[in-house]
Amino acid sequence: MADPNPAVLTAGEGPILAVETSCDDTSAAVMDESGSVLASVVHSQDVIHEKYGGVVPEVASRAHVERATVVVREALAEAELRPQDLGRVAVTVGPGLIGALLIGLNTAKAIAWAHRLPLVPVHHLHGHLAAVWLTEPQVAFPMVTLIASGGHTSLILVEDSRTFRLLGQTLDDAAGEAMDKGARLLGLGYPGGRELDALAEQGEPGGFQFPIGLARKGNLDFSFSGVKTAMYYLLREMDEAERRANRADIAAAYREAVVEALISKLLQAGQLTGVPTLAVAGGVAANSLLRRRLEHEGTTAGFEVVIPRLSYCTDNAAMIAAAARSGPLLPFPAYLALEAAASLALDADLNPNSEKAGL
Ligand code: KG4
Ligand code: ZN
């Protein structure tokens, strides 16, 4: 087994400035050489996208343009550093909304180039995985991490801080997307996952039954399109008064079905691979039932469980800085050819000058 936290930064030592703009949050963070977060700034676009009921890519890109330099400046000020004090710049290069990614990439390139700094390209999911050892630096590798967000639902075997294997993923909707769509059917606000979670806390899940996709033992993929369709038909059969009277119970049963799929497959993946640690990351890791169940069932089954704090679960640049400590470090000015990619395999080679380049 490789060294779990390899100190790979032989060049460009010094604080990392990380930039993340893959979806609808503009974020920048500064991390020192020991891995401590000196600053983490996230400018959420929720209020902008709220009126559309979802993220509008063009609008997100424009908001990133307006905010990127302000957010970077704020992170540096919070860390009490000047750009010339930095050792390297890290940035998310994919996967994500291409227009949004390009704003972050070009911001990072410009800062790195202007100060003759090296640059580290980071895969967005590597960032989510790194939230686990950012939260718990002494965590035992290998681990299975569930990444559940608005765009992703994946089970990943994390052998060390830069070696990953995809064990399973959603074949249709992401878990967060299922939460958001269910919330919208119930007439809740945006972002829906959080609202549905709050409503479910007031209900009883027993009165309604929602399907759990791909429930067969040993199957580590997910499917959430059936649960949303079931909610649609259930609500269609009810009149307004019935819907209102049963809202909390329906939300509770719906949340239960989504969380059951996530937890049971995460536990199965842990048992099948024999890892000591189970972890969760991504916005859906904010779900109160998921957190309670994972803590309880994971520990009861003998696993070390890591649930990152909420600010490191949702998109943020601190997790990108943590991932960047595992490289690859591109020297000045080799990264000028670097491109962003809307879809990007987790094991893609992010060095544009390498023969196996995935970008
Ligand atoms: O990771 P994230 O901030 O953004 C990406 O999609 O990359 O995740 C956002 C997702 C949304 O679908 C949102 O509804 C969901 O996380 N979410 C929740 C909760 N808080 C946020 N889902 C369930 N329960 C929550 N408490
Ligand atoms: Zn994300």
Question: Which superfamily does 138-312 belong to?
Answer: ATPase, nucleotide binding domain (3.30.420.40)
Is residue 149 lining ligand 1, measured as CB closer than 6 Å? yes
The radius of gyration computed from the CA coordinates of the chain, to the nearest angstrom, equals 21
Write out the two tokens for 124. Answer: 């967005």
pLDDT for res 12: 52
Pairing of strands 88-94, 119-123: parallel
Nearest of 247, 249, 252 to residue 186 by alpha carbon: 247
pLDDT of 10 strictly over 80:
no
For the chain, the straight-line distance linking the first and the last C-alpha, in angstroms and rounded, comes to 28
Interior angle at CA 199, CA 51 and CA 224, nearest 5:
75
Entry pTM: 0.92
Is residue 176 lining ligand 1, measured as CB closer than 6 Å? yes
Separation of alpha carbons 169 and 146, rounded Å: 9
pLDDT band at 11, cuts 50/70/90?
very low
Mean pLDDT of the residues in the chain = 92
Is residue 191 lining ligand 1, measured as CB closer than 6 Å? yes
pLDDT for res 195: 96
pLDDT of 2 strictly over 70:
no
- Inter-CA distances, 174 with 148, 236, 254, 262, 302, Å: 7, 23, 15, 11, 28
Look at 51 and 36; give whichever has higher pLDDT. Answer: 36
Q: Is 124 helix (H, G, I), strand (E, B) or coil?
A: helix
Separation of alpha carbons 227 and 138, rounded Å: 38
Is residue 97 lining ligand 1, measured as CB closer than 6 Å? no
- Tens digits of per-residue pLDDT, 251-301? 999 999 999 999 999 999 999 999 999 999 999 999 999 999 999 999 999
Q: C-alpha 54: how far from its chain's center?
A: 17
Residue 167, phi then psi, degrees to nearest 5: -100, -30
Measured in angstroms, how far is the CA atom of residue 191 from the centroid of ligand 1?
8
pLDDT of 191 strictly over 50:
yes
Separation of alpha carbons 313 and 25, rounded Å: 13
Is residue 329 lining ligand 1, measured as CB closer than 6 Å? no
Instruction: Supply the CATH classification number for the domain 16-129+315-337.
Output: 3.30.420.40
Measured in angstroms, how far is the CA atom of residue 193 from the centroid of ligand 1?
6
- Inter-CA distances, 226 with 2, 122, 171, Å: 41, 33, 11
Measured in angstroms, how far is the CA atom of residue 282 from the centroid of ligand 2?
6
pLDDT of 247 strictly over 80:
yes
| 133-159: average pLDDT | 96
| 342-358: average pLDDT | 83
Is residue 283 lining ligand 1, measured as CB closer than 6 Å? yes
**From the CB of residue 283, how many other CB atoms can be counted at a distance below 10 Å?**
26
What is the DSSP track for 59-82? HHHHHHHHHHHHHHHHHHHHHT--
Separation of alpha carbons 27 and 317, rounded Å: 5
Write out the two tokens for 232. Answer: 């649609």
Instruction: Please choose from 21, 49, 284 the residue to mutate so as to test ligand 1's pocket, defined by most ligand atoms within 8 A of CB.
Output: 284
- Tens digits of per-residue pLDDT, 58-88? 888 898 899 999 999 999 999 999 999 999 9
pLDDT for res 55: 79
Fold agreement between 16-129+315-337 and 138-312:
yes
- Tens digits of per-residue pLDDT, 163-190? 999 999 999 999 999 999 999 999 998 8
Measured in angstroms, how far is the CA atom of residue 194 from the centroid of ligand 1?
7
Domain residue limits, the chain: 16-129+315-337, 138-312
Nearest of 162, 179, 141 to residue 262 by alpha carbon: 179
Query: Helical H runs in the chain?
Result: 46-49, 57-79, 98-114, 124-135, 175-185, 192-200, 225-236, 240-273, 288-293, 299-300, 310-313, 317-324
**Which atom belonging to ligand 1 lies closest to the Cα atom of 282?**
1
Is residue 192 lining ligand 1, measured as CB closer than 6 Å? yes
Is residue 132 lining ligand 1, measured as CB closer than 6 Å? no
| Contact between residue 90 and residue 338 where contact means Cβ atoms under 8 Å apart | no
Measured in angstroms, how far is the CA atom of residue 158 from the centroid of ligand 1?
22
Write out the two tokens for 34. Answer: 């020991």
